[in-house]
Amino acid sequence: MKRSTLIAGAILVSLVTALSSSAFAQEEQATPKMTTTVKPPKYFLTYSYYKYDLQGTNSANTRIYKFDASTVDLSMVTATWLYSPQWTLLAFVPYIKNMVETVYEPLPGGLNFKTRDYTQGLGDVRLMGLTPLLADVNNLVMSDINLTLPTGSIDEYFTSAPTQRAAYNIQLGSGTPDLILGTTYSYTQLNWVSSVRGQGTVRMGRNSNGWALGNEFLASAGSKYQFTKSFEMGVVGNYKARDAVQGRDDKYEKNNNWNGTAKGDGHQYYHAPQINWDTELVAKFTTPAFSGLTASIEGGVSFWRDAINKDDIRLDMPYWASASVNGSF
């Protein structure tokens, strides 16, 4: 489970709010006005905090390493502008704190040496334009075009080895501007809301350190039931496929020919395609609006997950939790 996947999940949660707001704006535009009414809000500002706890489940097939505990603390500020009935504009500003424990040569006679590393700071800012393709009582189809700005650092170093640059998956950004295209379909029937989303990311060149994350495809599908105006619960499935890292960071990849008790390429994981998927039970509670403010708490528990990669390694996320405050004006 990658940091970028977690950020994408957080952005998807924010996107659901934007979809609802955009649909509301379209409904307002289409409804005949017989009398003067208060205009609906056009601007929204949201602060969200996400807590992800992950756990390594097995060693790499080279036996060079395994992941142990890992955490991601993500704070996200989202600004939303209902620019027109046709376009909603959003900006996502993430602040990330990563922690990962790695055990080297976790086998009899091996080093069995554990390190703990941290990185934190501003991530890549993402700009989004969201437009409806279809909107009626039951159906809503939205497409979005996105650009990420390389504001996240790619020059973070391991806490445990200050002369070695940190791994690709705990750098704070990609180092490249990335183009993202997505489409979301939502179907509402009474208290049920079901949705499907597909999203593709294309990296635009290599970064200043000579590498680029692989292009990737994300998909999610889910169905939620709204028990009350404040509480909903459902099931969501997530899928991600990412191509290999292009190029190499020479200040990170210093042990490509590990020759200890274990032997092999200690970084082959990044230089081959990776696939991850999971299914989770999710629930969300939202407070009633007060003076234009709402608050919510949300969480998920994974009950089926797996991964395919060159190291045959997994870093699972058994659960996650988030809290947010949203204001409109």
* Residues constituting the chain: 329
Is pLDDT of 153 > 90? Answer: yes
Cβ neighbours for 39, distance < 8 A, ≥ 6 positions apart: none
Q: What is the pLDDT of residues 31-87, one digit of tens each?
A: 444 455 557 789 999 999 999 999 999 999 999 999 999 999 999 999 999 999 999
Q: What is the pLDDT of residues 161-203, one digit of tens each?
A: 999 999 999 999 999 999 999 999 999 999 999 999 999 999 9
- Are 54 and 315 in contact by the 8 Å Cβ rule? The answer is yes
| Residue linked to tokens 């909107």 | 135
pLDDT value for 31: 43
pLDDT value for 2: 58
pLDDT value for 329: 86
HSE-up of 26 (CA within 13 Å, CB side)?
21
Structure tokens at 167: 């791994």
Backbone angles phi, psi at 301, to 5 degrees: -125, 120
Task: State how far the alpha carbon of 22 is from the alpha carbons of 109, 133, 153, 326, in Å.
Answer: 60, 12, 33, 15
Is pLDDT of 219 > 80? Answer: yes
- Of 164, 173, 121, 258, nearest to 2 (Cα)? 173
Chain centroid offset of residue 287 CA: 24
pLDDT value for 34: 45
Q: What is the pLDDT of residues 278-306, one digit of tens each?
A: 999 999 999 999 999 999 999 999 999 99
Please tell me the distance from the alpha carbon of residue 218 to that of residue 7, in angstroms, as a whole number.
Answer: 12
Q: What is the pLDDT of residues 2-32, one digit of tens each?
A: 566 667 667 666 665 555 555 544 544 444 4
Domain total for the chain? 1
CATH number at residue 41: 2.40.160.40
Mean pLDDT for all residues in the chain: 91
pLDDT value for 18: 55
Is pLDDT of 145 > 80? Answer: yes
Tell me, yes or no, if the pTM score tops 0.85: yes
pLDDT value for 66: 96
155: pLDDT confidence band, cut at 50, 70 and 90?
very high
Point out which residues pair with 307 in neighbouring strands: 276
Tell me which residue range forms the domain holding 106.
Answer: 3-328
CA trace torsion 93, 232, 138, 86 (10° rounding): -20
